[in-house]
Amino acid sequence: MLRYTLKRLGYMVVTLWVIITATFVMMKMLPGDPLKSEKVPPEVRAQILKQYGLDQPLPVQYVKYLGNVVQGDLGKSLSFDGRSVTDMILEGFGPSAFIGIQGLLFGTVIGLILGSVSALKRGSLIDNASTFFAVLGVSIPNFVMAALLSYYVGVVWGILPPGLWESYEYSILPSLALSFPVIAQISRYTRTEMVEVLDQDYMKTAKAKGLERSAIIIRHALRNALIPAVTILGPLAINIITGSLVVEQIFAIPGMGELFVTSVINNDYTLIMGVTIFYSVLIVGVIFLVDLLYGVIDPRIRLSGAKE
Amino acid sequence: MAKVLEVRDLHVSFKTYNGEVQAVRGVSFDVNKGETVAVVGESGCGKSVTSQTIMRLLPSPPSMIKSGEIMFDGKDLTKLDEKQLEKIRGAEIAMIFQDPMTSLNPTMTVGGQITEGLMKHQKMSKEEAKKKAIEMLRLVGIPSPESRISQYPHQFSGGMRQRAMIAIALSCAPKLLIADEPTTALDVTIQAQIIDLMKELQEKVGTSIILITHDLGVVADIADRVVVMYAGKVVESGSLDEVFYQPKHPYTWGLLASMPRLDQSSDQDLQPIPGSPPNLLNPPKGCPFAARCKYAMKICTQEMPETSDVSSTHRVACWLQHPMAPKVEPPAMAVGGE
């Protein structure tokens, strides 16, 4: 298990290095530079470029940057008066993480319940309704859902605030918008798997032990049905992370999404790099976590690769 | 002898798109205290349906008990509701299934699967149940049970998994153990071990056993009495010796003749029973075996024979038993070898 974990960590580092390098090269290939729009005399311009180390040859800039990143220093923003990029990201990450995690939670819990009930009551009204809902959830992009929710629930019915970021209520609609595809996918996977698990021999063994139906389903069926749901949790979490870029804009939430969009428009090299690296770490980290979680749920995976 | 279980004229059907499949059509047999009754017959004869109906494990619909009763401990199991059945399943009647590879939950420790029944039926605490589970694993011959208990089924071999299944089944000291082809999925060497284990534990625990099988070798090894089923009916029943050495039903003859024997010379071929069992969507009016029976008479295809007593324990349902029927000698392959 330890060897497996270390190996995965090694892969993570390599992946991140490739991403940093690729982003760095592509960013330098973009036309223009951060000072292009400002009307500054050439001497001042040269001085600022020097201050940020942008006058040096690219390989030198690259090595220097890499060295700083390893030490956790993402540099200073070029467009926001030299504020630390790390601080800006941490500030924007709060709201983003909150609606993202809450969305994933909403989605997983509702999806599991819906999927299990569908499987147990195959062919019932609930089953058909949840299938219909799942098709909607998969086919409607979450930014459309976000706009609809913001307009109807927020503006027309006035149940929850349609945007901005002031207190807890402001987080519910964005989280719901993000959770729709999650509900759809998790409920489908859970249903399919649950139907299969309910037919397994060990379900009969459990029944033959005289266990109550609820105990059989929770203890024996759900855990086995959960395994495939966990695998898609990784991609779903990543969908939420990327989806929130747009959803945050719709709800006017001062999160990572806003940071990302403005940084690209401003050609703010350090901020672009910082946000990209941060997202990469997040996504690679989620994949890594899901791999570990898999092993926790399914003991057969925990042992493969590791000798006893 | 005290009867543990009495099955009386049990009829079980399945509703399918094509109509009603009459899987069990009037099965009756008894199980006495401490004895082993083998139910034999080929695939689809209704033996597993009978056993699972005793436990009421079959989902309804599609299955339904059309008529008959299953008396256990003064209660008719066909009339109990789920709550009452939960108290009997695992505690008083336990079951071992055919395939130990799939009958254990892969995501739960073996210990956990033994203790959950103990905690439910005997109201044991977690520690007590764990202690008992270790004891059970030791009883079924699993080495170092203290460490094995926290392992998962995939870390057990096939034979050990079946031993674990037996430990689960016997943990609450049931009055009746139903073993549904417990050795079919195992290697031959392991089969013998499992049968020996069941015999040994039966003596220790005093459980009655219903053994569902199509392996006559296993039957000869462990059974006290034999019930031969064909197409949802009991065609012959009696003590082991009666059924093996004085079989009366042509189907039983066929079964015995198709079993390989050590004393048979190599130029003697096994004699399979030609044909296949009838479709139970439309069971024949007369004896279901008539179409495959060498000795079939006109009456056989028209009317189902009554069950007649050969001795006080030996019963057979065949027209050949009728006083007016011609005397037929069973083929040499089927009997002998005393």
Q: How far apart are CA A269 and CA A277, in angstroms?
A: 12
d(CA A293, nearest CA chain B) in Å: 14
Chain A residues in contact with B116 by the CB 8 A cut-off are: 209, 211, 215, 219
pLDDT digits over A200-227, tens only?
A: 889 989 998 888 888 888 888 888 888 7
**Residue A163 belongs to a domain:** yes
**Residue A273 belongs to a domain:** no
Pairing of strands B315-316, B233-239: antiparallel
Shared domain for B155 and B90, answered yes or no, is: yes
Shared domain for B103 and B69, answered yes or no, is: yes
Residue of B nearest to A226 (CA): B107
d(CA A107, nearest CA chain B) in Å: 24
Q: What integer pLDDT is reported at residue B334 of this predicted model? A: 61
Out of A24, A42, A70, a domain closes at: A70
Shared domain for A117 and A192, answered yes or no, is: yes
Percent pLDDT > 70 in chain B is 96
Shared domain for B206 and B309, answered yes or no, is: no
**What would the mean pLDDT of B82-102 be, rounded to a whole number?**
89
DSSP, residue by residue, B214-252: S-HHHHHHH-SEEEEEETTEEEEEEEHHHHHHS--SHHH
Q: What integer pLDDT is reported at residue B104 of this predicted model? A: 92
Q: How far apart are CA A190 and CA A229, in angstroms?
A: 6
Q: How far apart are CA A20 and CA B189, in angstroms?
A: 61
Residue A306's pLDDT band (cuts 50, 70, 90): very low
The shortest CB-CB distance from A297 to any of B97, B104, B107 is to B107
CATH number for the domain that contains residue A212: 1.10.3720.10
pLDDT digits over A42-92, tens only?
A: 888 788 778 777 788 888 888 888 888 888 788 888 777 778 888 888 888
Shared domain for A252 and A121, answered yes or no, is: yes
> Does B90 contact A209 at a Cβ distance shorter than 8 Å?
yes
Shared domain for B11 and B93, answered yes or no, is: yes
* Residue B73: φ, ψ to 5°: 60, 40
CB pairs under 8 A between A and B: 78
Shared domain for A100 and A231, answered yes or no, is: yes
The shortest CB-CB distance from B107 to any of A204, A213, A299 is to A299
Q: How far apart are CA A231 and CA B210, in angstroms?
A: 43
* Residue B264: φ, ψ to 5°: -90, 140
> Does B55 contact A200 at a Cβ distance shorter than 8 Å?
no
The shortest CB-CB distance from B154 to any of A211, A213, A300 is to A300
Residue of A nearest to B168 (CA): A209
- Share the mean pLDDT of chain A: 83
Say how many domains are in chain B: 2
Q: How many CB atoms lie within 10 A of CB A208?
A: 25
Residue B274's pLDDT band (cuts 50, 70, 90): confident
**What would the mean pLDDT of B90-116 be, rounded to a whole number?**
90
Sequence-ordered alpha helix ranges (H) in chain A: 2-29, 42-51, 58-70, 85-120, 125-139, 142-149, 169-198, 201-208, 213-215, 223-250, 256-265, 269-297, 299-303
d(CA A212, nearest CA chain B) in Å: 7
pLDDT digits over A245-270, tens only?
A: 888 888 888 888 888 888 888 778 78
Shared domain for B133 and B259, answered yes or no, is: no
**Structural domain boundaries, residue A121:** 88-265
Shared domain for A148 and A223, answered yes or no, is: yes
Residue A275 or A158, more confident: A275
Shared domain for A105 and A213, answered yes or no, is: yes
Shared domain for B170 and B51, answered yes or no, is: yes
CATH number for the domain that contains residue B82: 3.40.50.300
**Structural domain boundaries, residue B256:** 229-263+271-334
- Share the mean pLDDT of chain B: 86
Shared domain for A55 and A203, answered yes or no, is: no
**Residue A256 belongs to a domain:** yes
The shortest CB-CB distance from A208 to any of B82, B90, B155 is to B90
Out of B165, B196, B223, a domain closes at: B223
Residue B94's pLDDT band (cuts 50, 70, 90): very high
Shared domain for B330 and B215, answered yes or no, is: no
> Does B89 contact A207 at a Cβ distance shorter than 8 Å?
yes
Out of A19, A40, A70, a domain closes at: A70
Shared domain for A44 and A156, answered yes or no, is: no
Q: How far apart are CA A203 and CA A221, in angstroms?
A: 7
Chain A residues in contact with B102 by the CB 8 A cut-off are: 200-202
Chain B residues in contact with A217 by the CB 8 A cut-off are: none
pLDDT digits over A126-139, tens only?
A: 889 888 888 888 88
Shared domain for A113 and A261, answered yes or no, is: yes
Question: Poorest-confidence range of A185-194, B177-186, B328-337?
Answer: B328-337
Question: Poorest-confidence range of A94-108, B73-87, B182-196?
Answer: B182-196
Say how many domains are in chain A: 2
**What would the mean pLDDT of B217-235 be, rounded to a whole number?**
89
Residue of A nearest to B153 (CA): A300
> Does B154 contact A297 at a Cβ distance shorter than 8 Å?
no
Picking from A205, A213, A223, A294 by the largest number of B CB atoms within 10 A of its own CB, the best residue to mutate is: A205
Q: What integer pLDDT is reported at residue A34 of this predicted model? A: 67
Shared domain for B204 and B236, answered yes or no, is: no
Residue of A nearest to B118 (CA): A209
Shared domain for B147 and B242, answered yes or no, is: no
- What residue has token string 């399914």? A298
Q: How far apart are CA A161 and CA A114, in angstroms?
A: 27
**Residue A284 belongs to a domain:** no
Confidence check: pLDDT of B225 > 90: yes
Shared domain for B178 and B258, answered yes or no, is: no
**Residue A186 belongs to a domain:** yes
Q: At residue A216, what is the residue type?
A: I
Shared domain for A111 and A228, answered yes or no, is: yes
Q: What integer pLDDT is reported at residue A38 of this predicted model? A: 63
> Does B103 contact A204 at a Cβ distance shorter than 8 Å?
yes
d(CA A204, nearest CA chain B) in Å: 7
Neighbouring residues of A71: CB distance < 8 A, sequence distance ≥ 6: none
Residue A11 or A297, more confident: A11
Shared domain for A65 and A122, answered yes or no, is: no
Q: How far apart are CA B207 and CA B199, in angstroms?
A: 10
Shared domain for B148 and B23, answered yes or no, is: yes
Residue of B nearest to A209 (CA): B90
Residue B338's pLDDT band (cuts 50, 70, 90): very low
Residue of A nearest to B169 (CA): A209
DSSP, residue by residue, B101-167: TTSS-TTS-HHHHHHHHHHHHS---HHHHHHHHHHHHHHTT-SSHHHHTTS-GGGS-HHHHHHHHHH
Six-digit token pair at A55? 């006058």
By the 8 A CB rule, do A118 and A187 touch?
A: yes
> Does B105 contact A220 at a Cβ distance shorter than 8 Å?
yes
pLDDT digits over B243-271, tens only?
A: 888 888 888 888 888 877 777 666 677 77
Chain B residues in contact with A206 by the CB 8 A cut-off are: 105
Q: How many CB atoms lie within 10 A of CB A146?
A: 25
Chain B residues in contact with A201 by the CB 8 A cut-off are: 97, 99, 102-103
The shortest CB-CB distance from A210 to any of B88, B108, B154 is to B88
Chain B residues in contact with A219 by the CB 8 A cut-off are: 108, 116
Q: How far apart are CA B65 and CA B53, in angstroms?
A: 8
Q: How far apart are CA A19 and CA B288, in angstroms?
A: 74
Shared domain for A116 and A166, answered yes or no, is: yes
The shortest CB-CB distance from A202 to any of B82, B86, B105 is to B105
d(CA B173, nearest CA chain A) in Å: 12
Shared domain for B148 and B86, answered yes or no, is: yes
Closest-CA residue to B132 (of B83, B173, B97, B92): B173
Shared domain for A64 and A92, answered yes or no, is: no
Out of A42, A70, A98, a domain closes at: A70
Q: How far apart are CA B101 and CA B162, in angstroms?
A: 8
Q: What integer pLDDT is reported at residue A305 of this predicted model? A: 45
Confidence check: pLDDT of B25 > 60: yes
Residue B208's pLDDT band (cuts 50, 70, 90): very high
Q: What integer pLDDT is reported at residue A159 of this predicted model? A: 80
